[in-house]
Chain A
Amino acid sequence: MSDAAHIDIESMLRLALHPVEPPEKLRTRLESTLQELTDLAVEELEAWELSTMRDPRNWVRPVVATTVGVTAGTALVMLRVRQQHRRRKASSRNPLELAQRTLKGAVAEARKLIERADRA
């Protein structure tokens, strides 16, 4: 292969393999997810400092915090659980009921992800 041909194919490669801009919807989704992860990690630290493990209203914090260190898939489960936490809190009569609803939510979200993975 001559140098000229070599240069030519490289020029063509530069044109053919141009960088691809990620879709806006991906940016939005990803930045939202990363922001949630960042916020949750901060909450984890707050939870430790306050030593509120005995209060069921705060159970979701250490559970969520642990998630960051487990797997990305599990993190997604807990993100969704955390996002639904405020709604559950409003509809729960007491902290125990809130904890039960949160646990059920986590199981449901995990099941959804597993089903989605099975379908893929």
Chain B
Amino acid sequence: MDPQHKARLDRDFSDLYRAHLRDVYSYAYYRIGNHHDAEDLTEQTFLQAYRHFERAQAESEGRPLRPWLIRIAHNLAANLYRDRSRRPQTSIDDTAELRTLHTTEDLVEGRDQLARILASVKELPDERREALIMRFALGMDNREIARAMGKSDGATKVLLHRAIKQLDGIVTAS
């Protein structure tokens, strides 16, 4: 490979890393449920992305690479569950995470409500939960989510609608 080409690829990858480290980590954290495994998953995601970056960049034809990164994380997380034969742990530290957002007493009720939402999200089927994480934690639009999940835009819209509807039912029932 031409050294200049390699140097440019490395620079581009560095930009990608800086732009999306928080996205990958947020996805990993909400997907897996604890910081320790989320760190490992994030690290493995970027190492794998580095290996395949040249091809991904060539095939992207200028489109954003965030869906590709999240897809790598998604596949690695699926492997993690398969290998360890386990579901997401219940250790998403709801109270710790929410405490950083809401510290005043008058927000106690709101905090409880958010904790209930998080608990309800964990009850959703994997695919619906992932779509919600991508939309609300990462702020991805339908097209990006569709690319990350390997679905059509239409199917993704339906998936998100059903996920929200099911979540609303769970929250209401609780």
Chain A positions near chain B (C-beta within 8 angstroms): 1, 5-6, 9-10, 12-23, 26-27, 29-31, 33-34, 37-38, 41-42, 45, 68-69, 71-72, 75-76, 120
Contacts and interface: CB of A to CB of B under 8 A. Distances in A.
A45 B6 contact: yes
Interface in B98-150: 98, 101, 110, 113-115, 117-118, 121, 132-133, 135-139
Nearest to B167: A9
Contact of B30 (A5, A17, A71, A72): A17
B21 A34 contact: no
A30 B118 CA distance: 29
Given A20-B29, A23-B39, A41-B6, A34 B168 contact: no
7 contacts: A17-B133, A21-B25, A26-B39, A30-B21, A34-B50, A42-B7, A71-B51
A26 B101 contact: no
Nearest to B24: A22
A22 B25 contact: yes
Given A15-B117, A16-B118, A27-B21, 12 more contacts: A10-B164, A15-B110, A16-B98, A17-B132, A17-B137, A19-B137, A20-B25, A23-B39, A30-B46, A38-B10, A42-B3, A72-B44
B159 interface: no
A72 B21 contact: no
Given A1-B168, A22-B21, A41-B6, A72 B42 contact: no
Contacts of B118: 16-17
